[in-house]
Structure 1
Amino acid sequence: MMIPARQAIPAEVYGGFEMRVCDLPGSRKLEAFAAHNHKANPCYFCKITHDEINTQAAYDVDNFVLRDEWEQICHAFAYRDATTAKARKAIFEEHGQRWSQLFELPGWMPSGCAIDFMHNFYLGIAKEMYMAFLVRGHLLNKDMWRRLEELVNAIQWPSGIGRLPKNLGENHGFAKADQWRRWVNIQCTILWSLWGDDTDMIRRNAPQPPRNAKDVEDFDRSDLTEIYEVFLFASVAERILASKSISAEDVRRGHSYLRRCCHRMLALGIHLLPNHHLAMHYPEIFRLFGPVYAWWLYAHERFNGMQEKVRTNGKGDGEMELTLTRNWVAKQRLHELLVSLPHDATPEERELISRVVSNDRAAGTLRTHMLSHSAALSSIKAPPRIKNFSDLRYLPHPGVYKLLFAFVRTVWPDLPLADDLNVNPQYTTFSSTSSTRVFPFISVDGTRYGSIMDKRSSADRYACVDFGSARIPCRVLYHLERLVANQDIPVFPWSLYATDLGVYVAYAEQFHDAEVIVSEQLAAPVAIIPIKSRTLGDDVPLWAVHSFDRTGIEPEDDWFNELADELDSITN
């Protein structure tokens, strides 16, 4: 079949368009390409076939036969110019391409449509993995589902992080993409608690499905450790690829774990979907568009939900659309007002906006949303109503005054400071009663960090703190005290990937001596999962601390590296 060549457009005239992001069905309609279940053309990046999705060829990235964008555009014009339905059908069946009026636009290229990470990974790969192994595969029996529910409900979540359902023992799925995202963050710790053996490793024998179970997923369940590694690799890949900032090397590492995850599922006999193959094209999308925060659809889905709640009259002729538009414009104007007042704004106007942002009646998601906007004006923000000084010598924890005084003298060594018991007039007195205010919480770059003085919520009393090259989970008092960890804590199945996963294990409710740090060292909110080691016993409760900074955690792990080397020498 002859394909007419498209008239060449000079590079200096060829404009180019911003990226387009849709879910999978939306992207196919936008690009006038075949659906993802098309037998010959399920992928608009390469020429893999649908029958190859469950073979190694669909994940052999180095040997993909990529599509030529200009050829696809030529096929689209050929489809438009075909004079019979039979000719159009032949073009579509062979090349998967239809005509779209958008191809008339200079700069409209198929590569401008990215694979949405939210739909592809969380609602595609992570969800299918969970359903195939745990639900349809019956790798959790009734008692395990009960224990999973208890463990998930016992997690101490930071206030800015969405929760998981409380009835997972009965209803095994999640309704929202953000819940799947949270599950991927914690699944390695949760599954270890359910599948761990007496040595704190994963046992080999997998639970067998009930005799009366219907439609059981058929896969190799002879070695539970291999199944656990599928979840482990997926969590590591998500943690790296979903970072707020990412390098080309990070993309390569994260994608390698995702490929290992897919290869392992193929080896186990799990039926893979087009989403698994499409994820193999992540590196090119990251190269073109940067971190996923720039192109995933969480914000767009949120906006859709906001628009669905707008009361409309349901009338046609554009009246309903006009109502939606007016509501949207009003919200955007409010957003602009919150984040950027004009230079000539009056003090009364600034005070009004400050009251709106800090108003206690604006609770929940809305309050978090407004606080994140107000963070654009100041990276560190404290409650404005705290005006009275605190007596540092009468705080619940003794020694705070001495710690803070020593810290101030270290920060400003040239300042002649003396404690409040000194009577020398040549020194400036650092008063214990009129020098310091104690805040129940502060906001750093829009993230809320609480303390033991916050009587309304205990959700944000723990955080990760940067100490030089190390990142340590801590408890917030009025300052911070480190959690205790040492070489007696055993090596867990995820320990070799702890840095990438952002997981740190410490003794529950045990802390190092208190110390003073500056607010800029606050790095990330954390979720705390109470766990127990079989080797240490029930009398030694532990915390698995999961960081939610999306950039990784780097604990002081010299002692662990030695244990890891020793473990490698034993296993090899």
Structure 2
Amino acid sequence: MTLPSWLEKVPSTFGTKGHGKLKADHWRTVSTVNLVITLVRWWGTVNATPEELEALKNYIHLVVPADFASRRSMSYARAAAYDFHMEQYLLGLIRIYNHTLVPNHHLSLHLRRLLDAFGPVHGWWMFPFERYNGLLQPEMSTTFMCYFYIGTASHWLISTLQWPATKEYNDMLWSFENGMHSVTPFGAPHAGQISEIFYHLQTEQGHTIIEPFLVVDAYLPLNPSDASQDPYRKFPELDMRLYYDRFEERQHVIRANDIVTHFAAFKYEPDGIQGMCIVARNLDRMTTKVSIPI
């Protein structure tokens, strides 16, 4: 499996006694990337038993809200989708496993109100406080005051200073001011691989503008017949799909801001499709479109 360098990778000893205690990011990767790719590949095909397919659907109902709730942006539609899938997951726990719900399950159904009211959880969850706990242990007073003042001073500077009226500063201020608001989603990105980066120089109204461009090899989409055998398309909320493990003949030249996100990739030969394919797991944490099944 190929993962971008910024994604917290699961230890190679995962599943054994020697892997130790996993961090929250490790669990996030293994739950929303590794296991999703593997379980859909095993239990999402026509060869899966009804019990396996039911267990997979219930697991997907957990993955989707965990993914949606931890995005860097929030909208009312995404909060509603979180609530729908979380409720379906809990109902599945009772129906399939006769599981007794615990207080955390109950609390998870109240999170939608907080997502609607406060936006992305990164602005109000407890991980920063946990990080401060680690900082406080070696040098309690000085370390705490140092990091506290750094954070508050940065917030004050961004919100009060008169920043230059340039695109770079405007983009920074927009991100600061709009992080708690929804973004306009667009269609599903197409998986590809950057083969070359070059700079284009032009002059506009006496100003020299240097802009980077990227040459991208796009993976070849499945034909309609093979697409019907793609197990990942049964779960559109995951924003995953198979491509042939080869590139389109024509390369694409795009601007840097046309790059949406990285993706996790895994190559295998699916049942019912001749030849190797690559599954692309979209790792976009901002703009993926959401829908709620009726």
TM-score (norm 2): 0.71
Q: Deviations over 1:391-438 (max 9, x none)?
A: xxxxxxxxxxxxxxxxxxxxxxxxxxxxxxxxxxxxxxxxxxxxxxxx
> Retained in 1: the 8 A contact 2:2–2:264?
yes
User: Match of 1:473?
Assistant: 191
Q: For 1:366-515, what aligned pairs fall within 5 Å after superposition?
A: 469-478=187-196, 479=214, 480-487=216-223, 488-498=226-236, 500-515=237-252
Structure 1 residues 163 and 546: CA distance shift in structure 2, 3 A: same
How far does the alpha carbon of each residue in 1:124-164 deviate from its partner, in whole angstroms, 9 at most, with x for none?
A: xxxxxxxxxxxxxxxxxxxxxxxxxxxxxxx2111221111
Out of 49, 64, 89, the residue aligned to residue 204 of structure 1 is: 49
Contact 2:41 2:231 in 1 (8 A): no
Paired amino acid for 1:518: R
**Does the residue aligned with 1:265 lie in a helix, a strand or coil?**
helix
Deviation string, structure 1 residues 274-309 (Cα, Å, up to 9, x no partner): 11111111222222212222222233333333444x
In 2, the alpha carbon distance for the partners of 1:307 and 1:509 equals: 51
Quick one: percent identity of the two aligned structures? 19
Residue 326 to residue 232, structure 1, CA distance change in 2 (3 Å): closer
Q: How does 1:26-45 map to 2 (within 5 A)?
A: none
Please tell me whether residue 275 in structure 1 is matched to residue 11 in structure 2.
no
| Matches for 1:541-556 after TM superposition, within 5 Å | 541-551=276-286, 553=288
- 8 Å CA contact retained: 1:192, 1:202: no
Structure-2 residue corresponding to 1:528:
265
C-alpha displacement of 1:173: 7.8
Once the two structures are superposed, the pairs formed by residues 11-30 of structure 1 within 5 Å of their partners are: none
Structure 2: segments with no counterpart, 5+ residues = 176-185, 197-213, 290-294
Distance 1:323 1:284 in 2: 37
Q: Name the counterpart of 1:188.
A: 36
Of 21, 26, 33, the match for 1:179: 26
1:292 paired with 2:118, answer no
Q: Output the aligned Cα RMSD.
A: 3.4
Is 1:305 matched with 2:134? yes
Higher relative contact order (CA 8 A, sep 6+): 2
Residue pair 1:202, 1:225 contacting (<8 A) in 2 also: no
Distance 1:550 1:521, change over 3 A: same
> Could you give the per-residue CA deviations for residues 96-135 of structure 1, whole angstroms, max 9, x where no partner exists?
xxxxxxxxxxxxxxxxxxxxxxxxxxxxxxxxxxxxxxxx
Q: CA deviation at 1:260?
A: 0.6
8 A Cα contact 1:483 1:506, kept in partner:
yes
Which one is further off, 500-509 or 167-176?
167-176
Distance in 1 (CA, whole Å) between partners of 2:84 and 2:194 is 37
Helix, strand or coil for the counterpart of 2:271?
coil
2-structure distance, mates of 1:163, 1:473: 21
CA contact (8 A) 1:188 1:494 kept: no
Aligned length: 248
How much does 1:516 deviate?
A: 1.0
State TM-score, norm by structure 1: 0.39
Match of 1:322 among 138, 141, 144: 141
- CA 203–298 in structure 1, closer or farther in 2 if over 3 Å, else same: same
Which structure 1 segments of 5+ residues have no match?
A: 1-154, 206-222, 313-320, 344-374, 381-444, 446-467, 555-572
Q: Aligned partners of 2:266 and 2:130: how far apart in 1? A: 29
State the Cα distance separating 1:259 from its structure 2 match. 0.5
